[in-house]
Structure 1
Amino acid sequence: MKVLRKRKNVLIVSVVCGAVVAGAVVASSYWKSGTEADGTAGVVETPPAESSAAPASGGNAQPAGNQVVLTDGQLAAARISAVPVERGSLTHAHTVPGRVRYNDNRHVAVRTPAAGIVTEVLVKPGDRVEAGQILARLNSPEVGTARADVLKWQAEYELASKLLERADRLEQHVTALTAELRKGDDFETVREKFADRELRDWRSKLFGAYSRFLLAESVNRSTRSLESSGILSGKTILERTGEQQSAQASLLAACEQAEIEVWQERSRAEVSAGDARRRLEIARQHLASLLMQRKVMDPTGGDPMSAGEMGADDTHLELLSQVAIVAPFSGTVEERKFSATERVQPADPLFVLADTSSLWIEASIREQDWPAVEISAGEPVRVTVPALGGTELLAKVYFVGRQVAEDTSAVPLMAEVDNSEGSLRPGLFVRVTLPVDTQSSVLSVPSSAVVQHDDQSFVFVQEGEKQFRRVDVEPGRASGDRMEILSGLEAGQRVVSTGAFILKSRLLLEQEGE
């Protein structure tokens, strides 16, 4: 057992030494190039402790302990840059995988409104179409019957409306005439006043009754004037008076009868027009349901249905059984399901149409991340697309699901992203960065500034133009390209953000040499 342990220790030591030697070789070649560029031999001497902060007069790098001093050539070759330690708010984030998918609001299956036969297909997959553009035509007897019903009740309603107008006008004229007749005005005056008004057969009936009344009244008046002379007997006078009263009663009865009958005629016409209007509306709603239209034309307008409302295009209106399948919005034809001469059933998908100018990003939030993730609809999230060279895009959260998927124990998150340039395609893999929480007044440095060795994190603090010192730090959580620093640094100190690994290699190489 001791032999085995010894061999094991020897093996570990060999591996470590090999790694150190390899690093030393790489660093040596780098530093050699840097020193040669500066005209030196590349040998670094350790200065006395009291002068470790300044480079040697020979111009070589002067490391001492945890310090690294570079020559002008090494500094230029390393391209080292430093930034100050910042204190401020830091938003921590969590990255989850996701996929690009169609925007469900702009990705639809264009379906057949009724059973029929496809007569013409006008587009193919990949074609760009505009809203309202005809995609295909089909012949449907069911739609033809529905259109015929609409046209029938359209005509019935128009006729009933005209009859109602005439009945209403007749009622107004007859009512006005009876009012004039009750006044007892001169016959010719009344006749001339209503000469050009529609009265139908009530003209002869009412004017005849009025003429008889006026005659009886005139005869009775003449008889009354002869009563005192004794020429006529009292019986004759009474008969003339009775005839006048009878004629007056007949006139009033004729007026009342006329008023009642024209009112009844107008009421019947109103009922007929209302029934025709309702039946027209039902026929239109039936046609609209067959054609899957959202709007139903208001039948009270009485106008004939246009080609669009009939579901046929202008050039084929005479073919009542033909249906024009149109694009509901502008987009691209993604799929075509049927060809010409094929029979289709109601709701069969003819095409799949999509508008890819706006897409959705679908991601899942695992249950262990629920308490930490703070996000709601409308907030922005960062999306990284590896297939596009790590391109970063901003998306807006559309919704966060409420139901937990049984197989993944995650809730869905959907974000909407602008794709007006067309760079994204449904199915692409993406990474979605979700905000977790925000801390205020924390120290942070670029993540590239923090390096590790022997499980110890440290940074290089710039103490002069060419002098850097290793400072051990306690890192916190990372947020994007920033790293929280819990201890070891103060705000304002300048740390190396580019070239920290090169300084680390130089420092380890010199420590090995010691």
Structure 2
Amino acid sequence: MNDKHMNFRPALLAALLAASVLAGCGKGQDTKAAAAPATDPNLVVVSAEMARNFRAAPLALQAVSIERDVPGRIEANEQLVTRIGASVTGRVTEVFAEVGARVKAGQVLARVTSPELTNAQLAYLRASSASTQAERAVERARQLIQADVIGSAELQRREAELSIARAELRASADQLMLLGMPEGYIERLREKGQLNSYAGIIATRSGVVIERKVSQGQVAQPGDPLFTLADLSNVWVVGAMPEQDAASVVMGQKVEISVPALGQRRFNGKVVFVSDTISPDTRTLVVRTQVDNTDRALKPQMLATLRIIGQARQQLAVPEAAVVRDNDRDHVFVQLAAGQYRLTPVDLGPASNGLRPLLKGPAEGTPVVVDGAFHLNNERKRAELE
């Protein structure tokens, strides 16, 4: 009997001990599960030593100038553009200027042979002859009146005829000048009587030939624009602004122009024209500035970008270094406590002088990480992977 009790007692103790251990383990797991908080992927907790690498500052009002980039192109200044055509109907016999050529005022660009010009020269020679004859008649009448051969009425009649002849001569000379004949040629025509069947197409100003619409053998008509000259020392930069931004641009705003073909070089100007109409095809309005181009670096039809700078105004803004791009959205880190930061989505405007205007997000005075946000975001991602 004593032996049976002795054998049963160790077995009972072993069973009780095993149950106790199992119960204790289950209780510990339940306690641990209850104590584990739900994880927040946007919350970052760092040690005090690491927190010294991040600097936070309260959100405050900043002087921000709204900047907008508008695509555009270089164009010739239309106020410095001249379209030149033939002054008579005729056939083009020679062309002297090509596109891109620099010409001076008075330079002959092409020549036209014209029967109209020949007829006008003949009319001038007849008028010149009539004027010379009328001058001689007046001189003869003055001699006769001194000899008391004719009366004063005859002298007056001849003087009237001289005035008419001189007026007709001036009109004929003006007609030749309108047909493109230089004044020197007209004087030579009167002195020598030699006809010139060629009319020159003359450059009326100095500039660069940017368009040519004439070829040898072509029949030219008055009014046809055969050459287009432009003074490229000052050019236009024309941009196309989306209609939703139309209210943000006004005359006189500063503009910074960049041209990809010219690398990092920048040009400055002001808005000189804002269209009152919207293009129905592109839903944009025309914005224009003009820029000095004394070195001819800007060429018509070059692509450009206009950065239109608005007036500075006070609004909440964050430094560009504080912005973290995640899931195609802008975020900032808001400091909750020492060593605790939360990634917070925000809506921001375009950058201006290193600042991004805050359109939607934390309130004024909220501490935001302004230095080290990129590394803090890396720490957040590393914690997610653990």
Q: TM-score range by the shorter chain?
A: 0.5 to 0.7
Does 1:110 pair with 2:94? no
Q: Structure 1: which amino acid aligns with 2:356? A: M
Instruction: Find the aligned partners of 1:163 and 1:405 in 2 and give their Cα distance.
Output: 70
Deviations 1:321-342 (A, max 9, x none): 2112222222333454444455
Post-superposition Cα deviations, 1:176-218, rounded to whole Å, max 9, x if no partner, equal xxxxxxxxxxxxxxxxxxxxxxx7444568xxxxxxxxxxxxx
SS for the counterpart of 2:118 is helix
In the alignment, does 2:143 pair up with 1:268? no
Percent identity reads 29
Q: Does the CA contact (< 8 Å) of 2:58 and 2:364 recur in 1? A: no
Displacement after TM superposition at 1:484 (Å): 2.1
Which structure has the bigger radius of gyration? 1
Match for residue 325 of structure 1? 201
407, 416, 434: which one pairs with 2:281?
407
Aligned equivalent of 1:30: none
Aligned partner of 1:375: which letter?
A: V
Shift of 1:385: 2.3
Distance 2:140 2:218 in 1: 52
Structure 1: tracts of 5 or more residues without a match: 1-19, 21-44, 53-61, 71-80, 171-198, 206-257, 294-304, 462-466
Q: Which residue of 1 aligns with 2:70?
A: 96
Residue 349 of structure 2 is aligned to residue 477 of structure 1: yes
Relative to structure 1, the CA distance from residue 272 to residue 457 in structure 2 (aligned partners, 3 Å threshold; closer, same or farther) is: same
Q: Given the alignment, which residue of 122, 125, 147 partners 2:96?
A: 122
For the pair 1:450 / 2:323, whether they are aligned, the reply is yes
CA deviation after TM superposition for structure 1 residue 506, in Å: 4.1
**Structure-1 residue corresponding to 2:259:** 385
Q: How far apart are 1:141 and its partner, in Å?
A: 1.9
Contact 2:59/2:363, CA 8 A, preserved across alignment: no
Of Structure 1 and Structure 2, the greater strand share is in 2
> After the TM superposition, which residues 21-100 of structure 1 pair with which residues of structure 2 at under 5 Å, given as runs?
47=47, 52=48, 62-63=49-50, 67=51, 69=53, 89-100=63-74
Partner letter of residue 69 of structure 1?
A: N
Instruction: Name the CA shift for 1:397/1:282 in 2 (closer, same or farther; >3 Å).
Output: farther
Q: Calculate the aligned-residue CA RMSD, in Å.
A: 4.7
Deviation at 1:375, TM superposition (A): 1.5
1:432 corresponds to which residue? 306
- State the AA in 1 paired with 2:248: V
Mapped to 2, the partners of 1:135 and 1:444 lie a distance apart of 59
Change over 3 Å in CA distance of 1:475–1:406 after alignment to 2 = closer
Q: Does 1:353 align with 2:229?
A: yes
Note the alpha carbon deviations across 1:351-387, whole angstroms, 9 max, x for none.
44333333322223444333x23322x5542323234
Letter in 2 for 1:111: G
Report matched runs for 1:225-236 at 5 Å.
Answer: none
C-alpha distance in structure 2 between counterparts of 1:345 and 1:469, whole Å? 79
The 3-state SS of whatever aligns with 1:307 is: helix
In the superposition, relative to structure 1, how do residues 320 and 443 fare at CA in structure 2: closer, same or farther (>3 Å)? same
Give the direction of change, closer, same or farther, for the CA distance of 1:374–1:203 in structure 2 (3 Å limit).
same
1:107-256 correspondence to structure 2 within 5 Å: 107-154=81-128, 156-157=130-131, 160=134, 200-203=144-147
The alignment partner of 1:458 has SS state of: strand
Match of 1:57 in 2: none
Contact 1:473 1:488 in 2 (8 A): no
The 2-side partners of 1:479 and 1:165 are apart by 88
1:279 is paired with a residue of what secondary structure?
helix
Q: CA deviation at 1:142?
A: 0.8
CA distance in 2, matches of 1:317, 1:103: 44
| Contact 1:475 1:483 (C-alpha < 8 Å) held by counterparts | no
**Distance in 2 separating the partners of 1:356 and 1:459:** 51
Question: CA-to-partner distance for each residue in 1:448-480, whole Å, 9 max, x for gaps?
Answer: 44224575632699xxxxx99889696653353
Cα distance change of structure 1 residues 459 and 146 upon mapping to structure 2, 3 Å threshold: farther
Determine the structure 2 residue equivalent to 1:26. Answer: none
**Partner SS, residue 179 of structure 2:** helix
- Give the aligned residue type for 1:440: R
Count matched residues: 334
Contact 1:89–1:438 under 8 Å retained in 2: no
Distance 1:272 1:365, change over 3 A: farther
Q: Choose from 308, 314, 319 the match for 1:441.
A: 314
More helix by share: 1
Which whole-Å CA distance do the structure 1 matches of 2:93 and 2:138 have between them? 44
Gaps of at least 5 residues in structure 2 are 1-40
Name the aligned partner's letter for residue 72 of structure 2.
G
SS in structure 1 opposite 2:120?
A: helix
The whole-number CA distance in structure 2 between the counterparts of 1:460 and 1:157 is 98
